[in-house]
Amino acid sequence: MFANGGFARRAETPMPSTPNRTDLVEGLHYLSMRDHVAGRIASGELKPGERLPSERRLQTDVGMARGTIREGLFQLEAEGVIYRKDRSGWYVSPPPVVYDPTRWEGFMSYVEAQGRRPATETLSKTEIPCDAALAQIFRRPVGAPMYLIRRRRYVDDRAVLVESIVVDAVTAPGLLEHSLDRSLTSVLKSHYNISVARNQVDMQPCALTREEAEALRVKSGLPGLSVVRTSYDAQGRVVEHDREFWRHDALKISVDIRVR
């Protein structure tokens, strides 16, 4: 298409019906470009994890300026269909993992249950003094000792989230000496007999700032999902405060609620 002679006139069809998913012929170049690539993915020509042709290659393939090519790629990225590795190329996204905030299984469990391969990497673990914001959350004095744990988690070797966990050092003394590359909840349970009775979870679309973006090896400013979880024990004491930043295309939230 758009073979020669410049521009196939934008015939802009009036769109009477409701085609919903597959928008057919579009007058806009970046949309045809998007559909061109989406078609090659849907047809199975390009499979999850595979690399797309380079932008300059696509440019000659479809005969558009590079900016227009990129506009189409950004759309597919926003849809979660493709993702990029910085300066390496564009790749077809694998399916998202399903997360149910009302369940207690940790990341390792539910990723594995979905037939994917989870991994956790501890980026840092330090003791910090409680600042004003944490003081309010934990109801502890400013300056009280806290543990700060930063971890990166993977699904099938793709980094999907970074998180910062804060735990009251008085509640779980010596926590940092344990291995934190698995479930933190189970460490708290088995070594400190702490169990969670209540979870407060907030989720919101966000943009990944430089720190998070670097940890996920993506471009700063890409859309992400922020998940903030505060866990309480039966006495209402804060056990854990966790702030996660997910790739926006890695996660699907699913909640099943029954009236009692």
Partner DNA sequence: GAGTGGTCTAGACCACGGG
Partner DNA sequence: CCGTGGTCTAGACCACTCT
- Per partner kind, with CB cut-offs from 5 to 8 A, the member of a copy of itself, DNA, none near residue 86 is DNA
Which residues are CB-neighbours of 115 under 8 A, at least 6 positions away?
Answer: none
Q: What is 67-95 written as a DSSP string? A: HHHHHHHHHHHHTTSEEEETTTEEEEPPP
Closest to a copy of itself by CB, 78 vs 170, is 78
Q: Which one of 36, 101, 114, 187 is in contact with a copy of itself (CB under 8 A)?
A: 101
Q: From the list 65, 98, 128, 253, which residue makes contact with DNA (rule: CB under 7 A)?
A: 65
Residue 141 within binding range of a copy of itself, rule CB under 8 A: no
CA distances from residue 110 to 78, 151, 178, 242, 255 in whole angstroms, order as listed: 25, 17, 22, 18, 14
> Which among 139, 216, 149 has a CA at the least distance from the CA of 181?
149
Angstrom distance (rounded) from CA 113 to CA 125: 28
# binding residues, a copy of itself (CB under 8 A): 64
Contact, 175 vs 167, CB < 8 A?
Answer: yes
Binding site for DNA (CB under 7 A): 27-31, 51-52, 54-57, 63-68, 70-71, 84-90, 219
The footprint of a copy of itself (CB under 8 A) covers 1-5, 7, 9-10, 12, 15, 18, 20-21, 23, 31, 34, 67, 75, 78-80, 96, 101-102, 104, 131, 133-134, 136, 164, 166, 196-207, 209-211, 220-223, 225-226, 243, 248-249, 251-259
